[in-house]
Structure 1
């Protein structure tokens, strides 16, 4: 992972994040000063960022918000104080309302983004200066250390490009913490088709089948927020196994990039998971990122032990074949 260290210093009133990347300083600078690239990594998993305003000049402002799986938005703003590209830039960082105005009573921070050469290619040193120990403690309590670490650890795929980052690696499963798992798979095909393949029953029935030997016998989908879905699988004639299914509700839909749904095993009292699907396109390929939130570690481990990753890889490989015919 790129992040090598995050330290807080109550005496100096600072929090410092250090990360190293296999990319030149100029490429790292571009990632932090292009809002479309910032959006691909700035928010931690489950809270992707959007920068509707980005006026990159001294005295200019950037306004951003991060959206939770439930659709809640957390706003922030930067005022650019100093710019010395490609070595550094400094901002005044505020918690903000939906108009980008600073929130009363919340900490205001000065943040320095420094980029320097390193043996691996380049190094980011991100230093946040606080006005008081209470402000530092408050921001740390909000989860700033964990959130910033997870966000910056997503930057590798932006710097490398999606093909170099994920091509040929199949379905990858990462355990992020006790209740979160991230699954990624690069798909040959444009984002619009990959989105349709996750929403339209006539396409879902062709690829979301898991291992060979199964068929989808029920596929009912209402992709609108508040709409429900139901899937059911059964073995093909002569096959072994008992039919099973999942049902749930659409919580968030932002076509063609994000859909959040609950998932419950039909006919059981097992707790539901929250499935956060994100799609990202570059150079004719689409990266599927599925963030799954489990109710507890035990449920997470039980599901992973079923061979879920192998089943998803079989489905995703089938998806590429389906997209080639659409």
Structure 2
């Protein structure tokens, strides 16, 4: 993971994050100063950022909002105070309302980003300066340490490029914390087509089958917010097993980039999970990232022990064949 240290200093009124990247300073600088790259890692998992303005000059302003899996928006803004390309920039970082004005009762913070060359690539030293101990405590209590760590730890795949990061590695499962898991899989194909393959029944029934020997007998999908879905699988031929299915609701839909749904095993009293899928495209390939929120660690471990990752890999391999065909 790129982040090697995060510390808070109540006496100096600072929070300092240090991360190291296997990429030259100029490449890391680009990732922090080009909004389409920045929004691919700036928000932590489950809260991706969308930048609506980015004026990279002293006195210029960047505006963004992060969107939760349930659609809540958390806006923010930077005012650029100093720029020394490609080694340093400094901003005044503020929580804002929907109009871009600072939120009363929330702190504004001076924040520096310093990029230095190392033998392995680049070291980032990110220091946030607070005006009071209360402001520091407030931001830390909001999850700033955990959120910034998870956000910066997503930067590797942006720096490497999607193919170098994921091609040939199949479906990967990453434990984010006790209740969150991230699944990633690179698909050779454009994002629009991958989106359609997740929302159109005539395509879904061709690939979303899991291991060989199963078929999708029911595929009912309403991908609009508030819409319901229902999937049922049944064994074919000599395959052993019993029919099973899932049902749920679309919570958030931002075609063709992001969809959030609940997922419940039909006919059981198991709690639902929250499945947050994002699609990122680069040079004709699409990275599928799904952050799954479980009700507790025990449920997370039970589901992973079923061989979920292997089943998803079988389906994704089939999806690539459908897209090529």
Kindly tell me the number of residue pairs found equivalent between the two proteins. Answer: 325
TM-score (norm 1): 0.99
Matched, 1:196 2:196: yes
CA distances 1:202-241 after superposition (whole Å, capped 9, x unpaired): 0000000000010001000011110000000000023210
Distance (Å, rounded) in 1 between the aligned partners of 2:125 and 2:273? 36
Q: Which runs of 4+ in 1 moved over 6 A?
A: none
Residue matched to 2:69:
69
Instruction: State whether structure 2 residue 156 is matched by structure 1 residue 156.
Output: yes
2:83 and 2:99 map into 1 onto residues whose CA distance is: 24
Matched, 1:281 2:291: no
CA offset digits 1:143-188 (Å, max 9, x no partner)? 0000000000000000000000000000000010010000000000
Residue 249 (1) aligns with residue 249 (2): yes
* 2:26 aligned with 1:11: no
Instruction: Map residues 197-276 of structure 1 onto 2, 5 A cutoff.
Output: 197-276=197-276
Which residue number corresponds to residue 22 of structure 1? 22
CA–CA distance in structure 2, aligned partners of residues 70 and 186 of structure 1: 25
- Cα shift readout 1:13-70 (whole Å, capped 9, x = no counterpart): 1000000001000000010011111100000000000110111110011111000000
| Structure 1 residue ranges without an equivalent (≥5) | none
| Structure 2: gaps spanning 5 or more residues | none
C-alpha deviation, 1:104, in angstroms:
1.1
Alpha-carbon deviation of 1:119? 2.0
Distance 1:35 1:101 in 2: 21
**What secondary structure does 1:164 align onto?**
helix
RMSD between aligned residues: 0.5
**3-state SS of 2:271 partner:** coil
* Match runs of 1:34-73 below 5 Å: 34-73=34-73
Partner of 2:91, secondary structure, is: strand
Counterpart of 2:120 in structure 1 is 120
- Provide the secondary structure at the position in 1 that maps to 2:309: helix
Shift of 1:75: 0.6
Counterpart of 1:146 in structure 2 is: 146
Partner Cα distance (1:252, 1:103) in 2? 25
Other-structure match for 1:314: 314
